[in-house]
Amino acid sequence: MKIAVLGLGLMGSGMARRLLAAGFDVAVWNRSADKATPLGEAGARVAATPAQAADGAAIVVAMLADDDVSRAVWTGPDGALDAMAPGAIAIESSTLTGPWITELAAHAARRSVRFLEAPVTGSRDQAAAGALRFLVGGDAATLADARPAFDAMGNAIVHLGPVGSGATMKLANNFLCGVQAASLAEAITLLEKSGLDMEQAMSVLADGAPGSPMVKGVGRRMLDRDYRPHFVVPLMAKDLGYAARALADAGITSAIAAAARARYIEADEAGESLHDISAIVEPLRKAK
């Protein structure tokens, strides 16, 4: 089966590798060609445009930064949708807004392309290990046909309902993650500035009621000043902005999403844009 992967960032490159390892005939495309080279060396066909990658593919998976990029890659000049055969399956796995996902599904339907949204939980390491969890919105029969691809890239598929439900679930998920990491950065800075033993302080947080996987994982990286990217700062700012919009559409003005988002924007503007979200602690450390 031919599968195309559009977007070879931290997540898409791992996903493409898993598809190759599972024996699929994989075509890849990325805006910056250098990221496609290692995939080409691993056996993927490297395409010059999204359309070229999608041509002849039974399934096309996109893993891109945001709504604007997704729109350009699926529906812009040399976009993937126009190159897909009727009945082929378009899977959008990026973290995007519900309104754009709904519009994209309509674009696909007009071309008789079947569509699933499948945003993911898990990060760079889970993508590389084929251990993502897919939050799927769309038709059950289409999901059944796409299951071999999902099984290669992940270890859990949650079918939430119609198109749009995956985006809502993913934004609620990342709202909680983004807020936790922002409050953790503030708490860690308070503890550091108070002169406490940080190993002892961290184990109080990690072993007690606040000790979520976020607090344990991102907290460790904040303490270690380990900012190698798992999930980069500007993308969490994007997710919190999208979550705030979804909350507003539900009648909730979220001061919490706005305050957390401000921490990511502050770090982005302070030069942390290529770093992991753990780097949001740095501007706080430097503040008087």
Q: Which is nearer to ligand NAP, 173 or 189 (by Cβ)?
A: 173
Is there a contact between 240 and 174 (Cβ–Cβ < 8 Å)?
Answer: yes
Is there a contact between 234 and 178 (Cβ–Cβ < 8 Å)?
Answer: no
- Closest contact distance (angstroms) between CB of 66 and ligand NAP is 6
Q: Which stretch binds ligand NAP (CB under 6 A): 4-12, 103-111, 216-224, 254-262?
A: 4-12
Q: What are the E-state strand segments in the chain? A: 2-6, 25-29, 45-46, 59-62, 89-92, 114-117, 120-121, 132-138, 154-161
Q: How far is CA 16 from CA 36, 215, 245, in A?
A: 10, 29, 31
- Closest contact distance (angstroms) between CB of 189 and ligand NAP is 23
Q: Is 31 in the site for ligand NAP (CB under 6 A)?
A: yes
Contacts by 192-200, CB closer than 8 A, 24 or more apart: 192/285, 198/223, 199/223
Is there a contact between 174 and 256 (Cβ–Cβ < 8 Å)?
Answer: no
Q: Is 230 in the site for ligand NAP (CB under 6 A)?
A: yes
- Closest contact distance (angstroms) between CB of 204 and ligand NAP is 27
Integer Cα distance of 264 and 279 in angstroms:
9
Q: Pick from 94, 165, 168, 189: which binds ligand NAP (CB under 6 A)?
A: 94
Q: Is 95 in the site for ligand NAP (CB under 6 A)?
A: yes
Q: Is 235 in the site for ligand NAP (CB under 6 A)?
A: yes
* CA-closest candidate to residue 219, choices 259, 194, 260, 191: 191
Q: Which is nearer to ligand NAP, 51 or 201 (by Cβ)?
A: 51
Q: Which stretch binds ligand NAP (CB under 6 A): 80-88, 151-159, 198-206, 232-240?
A: 232-240
- Closest contact distance (angstroms) between CB of 109 and ligand NAP is 23
Q: Is 154 in the site for ligand NAP (CB under 6 A)?
A: no
Q: Is 35 in the site for ligand NAP (CB under 6 A)?
A: yes
- Closest contact distance (angstroms) between CB of 230 and ligand NAP is 5
φ, ψ for residue 63 (rounded to 5)? -140, 85
Is there a contact between 243 and 171 (Cβ–Cβ < 8 Å)?
Answer: yes
Helix/strand number for the chain, H first, E second:
13, 9
- Three-state SS at 139: coil
Q: Which is nearer to ligand NAP, 35 or 216 (by Cβ)?
A: 35
Q: Pick from 3, 5, 8, 214: which binds ligand NAP (CB under 6 A)?
A: 8
Binding site for ligand NAP (CB under 6 A): 7-12, 30-32, 35, 63-65, 69, 72, 94-95, 120, 123-124, 230-232, 235, 239
